[in-house]
Amino acid sequence: MTETPSADEIVAYETLQWAFGGLVDGRPLHEVCLVGATHHGTPGPTLCGKDRFAKGGPGWSLGGGCTDPDALCCPGCLAACLADQKPVEGIFHALYAAAGAPTHHSHSADNPARDELIRLAARRRDRDRRESQARAVPARHG
């Protein structure tokens, strides 16, 4: 596993899209992870602990990737990000912003249509999750 930078070295988080689940093939992994960004690069694993440099591991795209309307925040990465409030950057920053993470909004001007797609996908997932939960709760009869 690569060395993890200290919390003091990390100045922001960069989005990371895995090579499976949308970037290269159609396998259903749509979670977008985060990696700590320092002044010297983005060393170390994702915030949720996945070693992106592991031998035989999937490829990944740091900061970029491709539009994935089903993209989701990785729950482990989101929890770590929300705990220390460092800003999120990268193509999927709006996805994390919709979940409450701070961003620099550095990429919004680059492609506002992409950001809108990400926001729409997040709203659609939230709606689908609420509908699914409503169907799962049995009606109570008194």
Domain ranges of the chain: 12-136
Tell me the per-residue pLDDT of 60-104, one tens digit each, with 9 for 90 and over.
Answer: 888 877 667 778 899 999 999 999 889 998 888 888 988 889 887
Q: Please tell me what DSSP assigns to residue 91.
A: T
- Distance between CA atoms of residues 81 and 79, nearest Å: 5
The pTM (predicted TM-score) of the whole model is 0.68
Tokens of 106: 């550095």
Instruction: Tell me the pLDDT of the chain averaged across its residues.
Output: 78
pLDDT at 35: 93
Q: Tokens 């170390």 correspond to what residue?
A: 44
* Rounded alpha-carbon distances, angstroms, from residue 41 to 10, 22, 38, 69: 10, 25, 5, 28
Tell me the per-residue pLDDT of 38-52, one tens digit each, with 9 for 90 and over.
Answer: 888 888 899 999 888
φ/ψ (deg, to 5) at 41: 120, -160
- Distance between CA atoms of residues 27 and 7, nearest Å: 33
Residue 93's closest CA among 10, 32, 43, 41? 32
